[in-house]
């Protein structure tokens, strides 16, 4: 009799999970959220082996294989593409899924065969000067190849600001013309405006130029003799201790999803001071002259560039890059109510001997999602709602992985009840604000705040949360793909620090305490949200 009774217990648990206290179940999951578990996973994901996890490159593939292996280890089912090809077992023919959602993105980058010419016509004679790519000029445009010839106008610093009563565009009709401008902030501006006012002024100028319908912008920084920094030779490769600040900016290809319309931004060319002076030749003014005079006398008259036009032909290389999201899932009692827990796993790659390890951005978020997956299966109980664990590719290129996911669902969009996004969860906001973390969430879901407040108390998690409800939750990461699709979101976010988007974003700078607390409160919340009706 006794033995028979014991053998019934597991059946009892499966049928009546709620007979056990929810707190006991949550505590069981919380037990696996330990600093050691976080260190073990982050240590590999943000190591040099994954080479900065650049979208479509080897390091990113290694990282995605690691994530898929961990999902399998944590008994999370594969939720990616259906495997093609023959299976030995007829019952799983074309039904088994992989952990990967494969797709292609378009990469556009500037090639080496760009042409930049200056045409000067005086008295019926035209002189053509041709400049050297990457030395005299650089094309900073990565859309479609363009061929254009248009007059050029000098606009000084190219600034318009009402507060300073200053306008470089006052007397000129710029429609269909190139503008040549000096791309530094002069002292009279930096002394009178605050940094955010300067930023706002430059944004206003950009949209003003767009409205005017200019042909393109030619920019010159005084003192620049060569427009592209030389690649570092092998014997000059810096010690990859990665302690030093960013040596050069990363190359700037543009990535997009195949179906997306290519937005025609204003073409932008950087020129050396020598090239700019060639354009100004014959006016009696040089870049240096203008800069030194402008310091004492603002609104300087602009030299007229009569008979001068610029010809530009750009060389844009377009290729397709194969990328993949990693998708795992726990099928709940209800398959038509889904919670998507996501984090991007890509980062910025490597260059010139430096690796952008992206430990905080965003190996930390991936470790968060992996650890949550493990905590959920550790309860041994099937949740009510279905939970998807998603690891996005190509976030750094414009949220391409999460956008692709949202647009390619095999079920109605309304089945997704919410998205919890994790991006950069291993840094406190600042040294003097040690405990604070923002919780951005969809305003109509007051429940997200209520359950956070309750669970922090119930499970003794010592975390100060600044609640940031919004009808249109802001931010530049993957939750935006869900916000734009009308899906409620929730996102814990501590701070940006100086390592952000530099090779110094390494595991050694992780703050394990905040990371662990964010994952603990997220687990308690997910368990509640996945097992209650709302
Ligand atoms: Zn990120």
**Residue 171: per-residue pLDDT:** 77
For residues 21 and 24, give the distance between their C-alpha atoms in angstroms, rounded to a whole number: 5
What is the CA(394)–ligand 1 centre distance, in A? 10
What is the CA(182)–ligand 1 centre distance, in A? 33
What is the CA(501)–ligand 1 centre distance, in A? 9
DSSP annotation of 301: P
For residues 218 and 171, give the distance between their C-alpha atoms in angstroms, rounded to a whole number: 19
What is the CA(475)–ligand 1 centre distance, in A? 10
What is the CA(103)–ligand 1 centre distance, in A? 20
**Residue 221: per-residue pLDDT:** 85
**Residue 238: per-residue pLDDT:** 45
- Strands annotated E in 302-384: 308-313, 316-330, 334-344, 350-351, 354-355
**Residue 431: per-residue pLDDT:** 59
**Residue 441: per-residue pLDDT:** 98
What is the CA(520)–ligand 1 centre distance, in A? 21
**Residue 14: per-residue pLDDT:** 43
What is the CA(492)–ligand 1 centre distance, in A? 13
Distance of CA 186 to the CA centre of its chain: 31
Tokens of 358: 């992206």
What is the CA(361)–ligand 1 centre distance, in A? 4
Nearest by Cα to 403 from 412, 415, 411, 394: 394
What is the CA(477)–ligand 1 centre distance, in A? 6
Nearest by Cα to 468 from 484, 486, 489: 489
What is the CA(60)–ligand 1 centre distance, in A? 14
The low-confidence residues of the chain, meaning pLDDT below 50, are: 1-19, 231-250
Nearest by Cα to 336 from 407, 412, 404: 412
Please, which residues bridge with residue 138 across strands? 270
For residues 411 and 329, give the distance between their C-alpha atoms in angstroms, rounded to a whole number: 14
What is the CA(344)–ligand 1 centre distance, in A? 7
């Amino acid at each position: 009799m006794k033995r028979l009774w014991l053998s019934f217990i597991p059946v009892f648990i499966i049928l009546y999970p709620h007979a056990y206290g929810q707190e006991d179940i949550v505590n069981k999951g919380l037990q696996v959220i330990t600093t050691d578990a976080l260190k073990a996973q982050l240590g590999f994901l943000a190591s040099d082996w994954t080479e900065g996890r650049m979208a479509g490159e080897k390091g990113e593939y290694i990282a995605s294989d690691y994530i898929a292996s961990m999902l399998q280890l944590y008994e999370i089912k594969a939720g990616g593409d259906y495997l093609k090809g023959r299976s030995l077992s007829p019952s799983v023919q074309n039904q088994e899924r992989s952990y990967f959602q494969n797709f292609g993105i378009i990469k556009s980058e500037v090639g080496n065969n760009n042409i930049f010419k200056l045409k000067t016509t005086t008295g019926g004679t035209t002189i053509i000067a041709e400049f050297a790519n990457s030395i005299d000029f650089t094309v900073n445009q990565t859309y479609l190849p363009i061929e254009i010839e248009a007059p050029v106008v000098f606009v000084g610093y190219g600034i318009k600001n009402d507060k300073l009563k200053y306008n470089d565009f006052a007397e000129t009709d710029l429609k269909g013309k190139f503008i040549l401008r000096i791309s530094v902030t002069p002292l009279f501006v930096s002394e009178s405006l605050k940094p955010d006012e300067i930023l706002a002024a430059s944004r206003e100028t950009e949209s003003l130029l767009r409205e005017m319908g200019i042909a393109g912008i030619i920019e010159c920084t005084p003192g620049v003799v060569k427009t592209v920094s030389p690649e570092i030779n092998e014997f000059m490769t810096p010690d990859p201790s990665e302690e030093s600040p960013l040596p050069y900016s990363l190359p700037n290809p543009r990535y997009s999803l195949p179906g997306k319309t290519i937005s025609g931004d204003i073409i932008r060319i950087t020129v050396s001071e020598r090239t700019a002076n060639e354009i100004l030749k014959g006016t009696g003014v040089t870049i240096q002259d203008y800069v030194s005079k402008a310091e004492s006398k603002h609104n300087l008259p602009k030299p007229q560039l009569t008979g001068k036009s610029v010809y530009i032909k750009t060389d844009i290389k377009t290729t397709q890059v194969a990328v993949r999201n990693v998708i795992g899932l726990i099928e709940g009692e209800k398959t038509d109510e889904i919670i998507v827990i996501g984090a991007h796993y890509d980062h910025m790659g490597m260059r010139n001997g430096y690796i952008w390890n992206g430990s905080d951005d965003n190996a930390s978020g991936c470790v968060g999602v992996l650890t949550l997956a493990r905590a959920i299966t550790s309860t041994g109980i099937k949740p009510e709602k279905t939970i998807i664990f998603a690891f996005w590719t190509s976030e750094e290129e414009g949220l391409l992985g999460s956008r692709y996911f949202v647009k390619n669902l095999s079920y109605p969009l309304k089945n997704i009840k919410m998205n919890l996004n994790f991006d950069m969860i291993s840094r406190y906001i600042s040294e003097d604000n040690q405990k604070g973390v923002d919780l951005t969430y969809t305003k109509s879901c007051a429940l997200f705040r209520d359950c956070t407040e309750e669970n922090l108390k119930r499970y003794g998690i010592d975390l100060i949360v600044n609640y940031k409800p919004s009808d249109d939750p802001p931010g530049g990461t993957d939750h935006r793909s869900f916000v734009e699709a009308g899906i409620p979101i929730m996102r814990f976010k501590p701070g940006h620090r100086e390592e952000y988007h530099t090779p110094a974003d390494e595991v050694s700078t992780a703050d394990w305490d905040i990371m662990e607390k964010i994952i603990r409160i997220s687990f308690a919340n997910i368990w509640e949200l996945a097992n209650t009706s709302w």
